[in-house]
């Protein structure tokens, strides 16, 4: 983990938020390369969930949340962790994270009894800070999908099964943020709510578990570092009929990378107008505040039904940490020298290609390199970098370390002989000459997922 943290700071992937003032615990900023990697991971998820399927719609909902939403969802009552205080040094800890009954900071066994600590961030909307103006920063992206269910249904005329996907910020006031960007207070989620007919939920649950395993494999996460944890009944969340966690071997230990939950009809039912208005199961809550009927009419049964929902939910930040961990390696070359490599999948790489002029002060070579960079950038595969450092060897090593898949060197042969460039592969370090006119097709083969 220490090596990854150092690389992330040195090369501009992740910085501690506000570190010139001592930082803010559990909050991180993504630098020039980090934001590219993060956006590429989100784009890969969105492509797989929305563009490559015909049964999913997208959504981007607000962060500020009406407290009634989180009241009926159960968050006000149940969204908490057990908190203990050390009576000796006054440090606070999550009780379920303590290896023994001692304070990790000072070693004292004198701890308070655990008490529930609600993780939601409160704020106020408007100029007056009173109960009527209370709002929350959303603790998850799921609830805004459920409250928009009818809007999406009415505007798209979808039929079961179908899903609503969303990527967005969420906020949790973690008692003990830890392990770099693994457990933080401000993070992003990639969340799908996939609505199915009751009775078909268990089959869809298993299908989505396998789909998510396959997707992580395509992002470069090796299957031998993944494991499925079928959450036992006594550990399930209040809304869950069944949950499968995809566990990953992070540098600090094996923990959850993504969860796939069968949430039944709990959420739509919880946000649905009083059940007497619908012929639905008695398990659905009566909601006197809602003005919506979050249900679908079953033509065969001639009755309203609340769909069940399968929820694959992954943290973007945990995903970034996982793909960085998978990609990071230090190699010893035949010369005895070492090189650090981020073997990221090409579609995730922050910089897709670097164009390097062999001689930095040669007008013809520099102009040609800039022209190639401009034309390749216009192809839309991602960021192409022009780097005029004049030291090709150091340029190659630097781009190996940040995961750039290919480097293109423009030299005297390019401008004086045959209009070809040297293309150097990050992983094999093999070099070949490619005609400038063939570079668009080369890029397409290399970077199309």
Among 56, 68, 60, 34, CA closest to 204? 56
- For residues 206 and 259, give the distance between their C-alpha atoms in angstroms, rounded to a whole number: 12
The topology (CATH level 3) of 351-447 is: Rossmann fold (3.40.50)
Token pair, residue 18, equals 């506000």
31-73+122-323, which class in CATH?
A: alpha beta
Closest alpha carbon to 13 in 350, 250, 427, 423: 350
Position 94 scores a pLDDT of 86
**Which run of H or of E encompasses 151?**
helix 149-156
Sheet containing 121-124, strands listed edge to edge, beginning at the edge strand earlier in sequence: 64-65, 134-137, 121-124
3-state SS, one letter per residue, for 3-60: HHHHHHHHCCCEEECCHHHCCCCCCEEECHHHHHHHHHHHHHHHHHHHHCCCCEEEEC
The residues that bridge with 311 in the sheet, in sequence order, are 261
CA atoms within 13 A of residue 34's CA, in its CB half-sphere: 23
* DSSP code, position 418: I
DSSP, collapsed to helix, strand or coil, labels residue 389 as coil
- State pLDDT tens for residues 242-295: 999 999 999 999 999 999 999 999 999 888 865 544 444 444 455 667 777 788
For residue 163, what are the β-bridge partners? 56, 194
pLDDT value for 238? 82
C-beta of residue 153 within 8 angstroms of C-beta of residue 163: no
Domain ranges of the chain: 31-73+122-323, 80-118, 351-447
Q: How far is it between the farthest Cα atoms of the chain?
A: 82
| Helix or strand (DSSP H, E) at 287 | none
Collapsing DSSP states into helix, strand and coil, what is residue 169? Answer: strand
Three-state DSSP class for residue 225? helix
The pair of three-digit structure tokens given for residue 433, joined into one six-digit string: 């000459």
Q: Can you point out the beta strands (E) in 172-307? A: 186-196, 226-230, 242-250, 253-264, 296-298, 303-305
Contact 13, 324 (CB under 8 A): yes
User: Rounded to an integer, what distance in angstroms lies between the CA atom of residue 389 and that of residue 356?
Assistant: 8
Instruction: Provide the Cα torsion 235, 244, 251, 344; round to 10°.
Output: -160
Distant-in-sequence, close-in-space partners of 432: CB < 8 Å, separation ≥ 6: 422, 423
Element (H, E) at 440: helix 439-447
pTM here is: 0.90
CA distance 300 to 149: 22
- Rounded to whole angstroms, the Cα distance separating 159 from 141 reads 23
Edge-to-edge order in the sheet of strand 308-315: 56-59, 162-171, 186-196, 308-315, 253-264, 242-250, 226-230
Name residues of the chain where pLDDT drops below 50: 276-284
Q: How many residues does the chain have?
A: 449
Q: Give the three-state DSSP class for 433.
A: strand
Rounded CA separation 184/191 (Å) = 17
């Amino acid at each position: 983990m220490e090596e990854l943290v150092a690389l992330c700071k040195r090369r501009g992937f992740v910085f501690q938020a506000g570190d010139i003032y001592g930082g803010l615990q559990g909050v991180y900023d993504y630098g020039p390369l980090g934001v590219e990697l993060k956006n590429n991971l989100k784009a890969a998820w969105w492509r797989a969930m929305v563009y490559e399927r015909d049964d999913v719609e997208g959504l981007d909902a607000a962060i500020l949340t009406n407290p009634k939403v989180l009241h009926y969802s159960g968050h006000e009552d149940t969204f908490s962790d057990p908190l203990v205080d050390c009576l000796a040094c006054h440090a606070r800890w999550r009780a379920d994270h303590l290896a023994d009954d001692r304070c990790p900071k000072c070693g004292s066994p004198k701890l308070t009894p655990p008490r529930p600590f609600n993780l939601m961030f409160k704020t106020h909307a408007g100029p007056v800070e009173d109960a009527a103006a209370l709002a929350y920063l959303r603790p998850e992206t799921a609830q805004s999908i459920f409250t928009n269910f009818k809007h999406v249904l009415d505007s798209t005329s979808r039929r079961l099964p179908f899903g609503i996907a969303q990527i967005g910020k969420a906020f949790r006031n973690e008692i003990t943020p830890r392990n770099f960007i693994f457990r933080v207070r401000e993070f992003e989620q990639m969340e799908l709510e996939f609505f199915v007919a009751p009775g078909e939920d268990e089959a869809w649950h298993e299908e989505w578990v396998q789909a998510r395993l396959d997707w992580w494999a395509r992002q470069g996460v090796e299957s031998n570092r993944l494991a499925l944890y079928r959450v036992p009944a006594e550990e399930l969340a209040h809304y869950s009929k069944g949950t499968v966690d995809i566990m990953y071997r992070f540098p600090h230990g094996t923990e959850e990378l993504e969860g796939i939950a069968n949430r039944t009809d709990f959420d739509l039912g919880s946000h649905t107008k009083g059940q007497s208005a619908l012929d639905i199961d008695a398990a659905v809550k009566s909601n006197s505040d809602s003005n919506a009927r979050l249900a679908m009419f079953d033509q065969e049964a001639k009755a309203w039904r609340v769909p069940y929902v399968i929820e694959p939910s992954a943290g973007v930040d945990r995903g970034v940490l996982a793909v960085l961990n998978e990609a990071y390696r230090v190699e010893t070359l035949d010369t005895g020298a070492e090189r650090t490599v981020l073997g990221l999948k090409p579609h995730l790489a922050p910089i897709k290609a670097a164009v390097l002029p062999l001689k930095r002060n040669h007008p013809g070579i520099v102009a040609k390199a800039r022209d190639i960079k401009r034309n390749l950038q216009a192809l839309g595969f991602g960021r192409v970098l022009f780097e005029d450092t004049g030291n090709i060897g150091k340029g190659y090593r630097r781009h190996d370390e940040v995961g750039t898949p290919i480097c293109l060197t423009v030299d005297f042969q390019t401008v004086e002989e045959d209009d070809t460039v040297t293309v150097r592969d990050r992983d094999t370090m093999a070099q070949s000459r490619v005609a400038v006119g063939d570079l668009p097709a080369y890029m397409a083969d290399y970077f199309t997922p």
